[in-house]
């Protein structure tokens, strides 16, 4: 084992490499992600302090009146304890972890991926990135279906920086923006935004942003002063599914 090869490995040349193989690329929030981390030893023996899997998403961040695409970690999972990988040796380590219910849906420009990193002291840490498709958790999906059944069409989904007043578990929130197709709402609403503030296996906290359409001078002034929006928080459990549509309808009609 030459010192020259050790030096090269420390800067990533001839060092160990990593490749994560997921059992699937499509998931529903709350599912279990399973797969194997495959490590291939390089030209020299190396000590691997840990293997980490980090779930990331993209979101839009505003700064200095400009919008930037940033990324944030949703959760991090340690796969194993320290071990040694020999020169040219192959190791395959199975893993599984829960995809958090708060994982954003991969719609619009939102991307979600699993990033694998080998923690190697005094060396460049190799990494691997695997993109996945994520659908809404069952209860959140019921909320979206209820909104559509009331006569709304989903027109845009964005992941943005979460306002501090919302007290969300992450630095981002995902907004589902709907346009009214029902004539009863089309003339009175500009849009309806649905945001899931917190989610678990048995409940979901929903924020409805009801944006009223300007009608007359008073309404135009309210719109200019951003007083034309109402915010309603609702919490649903599985038992509320039969009444979900009527509950959302009542919340909208009280605020238009």
Q: In this predicted model, what pLDDT tens digit does every residue of 212-251 receive, in sequence order?
A: 765 543 444 344 444 567 999 999 999 999 999 999 999 9
Judge if 164 and 213 occupy the same domain.
yes
Judge if 66 and 130 occupy the same domain.
yes
Q: Which segment of 54-68, 87-101, 161-175, 214-228 scores lowest on mean pLDDT?
A: 214-228
Q: Which residues contact 61 (CB under 8 A, 6 or more apart)?
A: 67, 68, 69, 70, 160, 161
- Residue 191's nearest CA partner among 207, 222, 213, 158 is 213
Which of the listed residues 112, 135, 158 is the one where a domain comes to its end? 135
65 — alpha (psi -120 to 50), left (phi > 0) or beta? Answer: left
Judge if 114 and 204 occupy the same domain.
no
Q: What is the pLDDT of residue 173?
A: 94
Q: How far apart are CA 111 and CA 104, in angstroms?
A: 8
Write out pLDDT tens, residues 146-198.
Answer: 999 999 999 999 999 998 888 888 999 999 999 999 888 888 888 999 999 99
Q: What is the pLDDT of residue 44?
A: 79
pLDDT confidence band for 4 (50 / 70 / 90): very low
Judge if 40 and 69 occupy the same domain.
yes
Q: What is the pLDDT of residue 126?
A: 67
pLDDT confidence band for 2 (50 / 70 / 90): low
Q: What is the pLDDT of residue 41?
A: 87
Q: What is the pLDDT of residue 227?
A: 52
Q: Domain of residue 46: give its range.
A: 3-135
Q: What is the pLDDT of residue 7?
A: 41
The pLDDT of 90-112, averaged and rounded, is 95
The pLDDT of 82-87, averaged and rounded, is 90
Judge if 108 and 169 occupy the same domain.
no
Judge if 201 and 226 occupy the same domain.
yes
Which of the listed residues 135, 157, 177 is the one where a domain comes to its end? 135
Please report, rounded to a whole number, the percentage of residues in the chain having pLDDT higher than 70.
86
Judge if 144 and 227 occupy the same domain.
yes
Judge if 202 and 177 occupy the same domain.
yes
Q: What is the pLDDT of residue 123?
A: 46
Average pLDDT of the chain, as a whole number: 86
Judge if 182 and 202 occupy the same domain.
yes
Judge if 41 and 158 occupy the same domain.
no
pLDDT at 11 over 50: no
Beta-ladder partners of 66? 63
Q: How far apart are CA 8 and CA 229, in angstroms?
A: 60
Q: How far apart are CA 249 and CA 256, in angstroms?
A: 11
CATH number at 74 reads 2.60.40.640
Q: Which residues contact 77 (CB under 8 A, 6 or more apart)?
A: 52, 53, 54, 55, 95, 97
More confident residue, 218 or 134: 134
The pLDDT of 70-91, averaged and rounded, is 92
Judge if 128 and 144 occupy the same domain.
no
The pLDDT of 99-109, averaged and rounded, is 95
Judge if 33 and 81 occupy the same domain.
yes
Which of the listed residues 135, 161, 182 is the one where a domain comes to its end? 135
pLDDT at 46 over 90: no
Number of domains the chain contains: 2
The pLDDT of 79-93, averaged and rounded, is 91
Q: What is the pLDDT of residue 121?
A: 65
Highest-confidence segment of 122-131, 135-144, 176-185? 135-144
């Amino acid at each position: 084992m030459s010192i020259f090869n050790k030096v090269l490995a420390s800067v990533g040349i001839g060092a160990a490499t990593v490749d994560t193989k997921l059992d699937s690329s499509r998931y529903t929030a709350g599912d279990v992600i399973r797969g194997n981390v495959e490590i291939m030893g390089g030209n020299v023996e190396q000590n691997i302090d840990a293997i980490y899997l980090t779930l990331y998403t993209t979101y839009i961040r505003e700064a200095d009146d400009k919008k930037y695409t940033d990324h944030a970690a949703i959760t991090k999972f340690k796969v194993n304890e320290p071990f040694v990988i020999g020169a040219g040796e192959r190791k395959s380590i199975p893993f599984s972890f829960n995809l958090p219910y708060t994982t954003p849906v991969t719609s619009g420009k939102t991307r979600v991926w699993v990033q694998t990193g080998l923690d190697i002291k005094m060396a460049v840490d190799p990494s691997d990135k695997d993109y996945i498709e994520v659908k809404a958790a069952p209860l959140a999906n019921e909320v979206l279906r209820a909104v559509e059944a009331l006569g709304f069409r989903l027109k845009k989904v964005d992941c943005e920086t979460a306002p501090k007043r919302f007290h969300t578990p992450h630095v981002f929130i995902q907004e589902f923006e709907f346009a009214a197709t029902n004539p009863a709402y089309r003339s009175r609403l500009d849009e309806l935004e649905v945001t899931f503030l917190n989610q678990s296996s048995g409940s979901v906290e929903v924020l409805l942003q009801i944006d009223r359409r300007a009608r007359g001078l008073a309404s135009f002034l309210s719109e200019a002063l951003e007083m034309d929006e109402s915010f309603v928080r609702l919490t649903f459990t599985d038992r509320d599914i039969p009444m979900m549509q009527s509950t959302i309808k009542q919340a909208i009609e009280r605020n238009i």
